[in-house]
Amino acid sequence: MNMRDQLPFHPSASTSTTATKGTIHWEQSNSLNGHAFEIGYISDSPPSTLSKTNFGIAVDWPVSSSHDWHSVTDDVKARAAITQYALYQQDEGSKYKYILYFTNYEHYDYYFYDETGDRYEVNTYRNGDHYVRFNSERPKIAYVTGS
C-alpha cells in the first residue's frame, strides 16, 4: 500500500510541502551529535495549551517496513501526549534516510533518542502531526523526553 493512502500526506525534500491538511514547513536543525536533521510542522494546526508535566519514557519504535501509523502504549499516550507514530526508511535519493511522523495532543519540547544515543529535538508549538527527517546508524527510537 502506498504511503499516501495511510498517512495524511507524504512530504517531499523541499522546504515546504502543500498537503491536504495544510502546508508542511521544514526547519533544519542539528542532533546532539551534530548531525543535520529536519523538523516539519503543518502551518494551519490549531495552537496548543501549555499545561504539561515533564517526562522521560522508554519506547520501542523500530523502523517499519510499511508506512502505517502505529499506536503507542497507554503509558506513552498519558505521559507524552503522543497518540501514534510512523518510522520508516525514505525512498532512495533523499538527503535523510529515515522519517519519523508523530501526532501529539499537548505542547511539548520533545527529544527523541535513537539507539546510538543521538537525539532529535522537536518543539511542538502546535498540536497535531509533526515530522523528523534524520540519518542514523541505529534509527530505532528508544527513549522520548518532553518538557
For residue range 57-94, what is the model confidence (pLDDT) as tens digits?
999 999 999 999 999 999 999 999 999 999 999 988 88
DSSP string, 71-107: EPPHHHHHHH-EEEEEEEEPPTT-SSSEEEEEEESS-
**How do the domains of the chain map onto residue ranges?**
3-146
Per-residue model confidence as pLDDT tens digits over 39-55? 887 765 544 445 578 99
Q: Rounded to 5 degrees, what are φ and ψ at 135?
A: -120, 145
pLDDT at 44: 58
Strands 55-61, 70-71: pairing is unpaired
C-alpha cell at 121: 529535538
pLDDT at 47: 47
C-alpha cell at 28: 533544519
Strands 141-146, 55-61: pairing is antiparallel
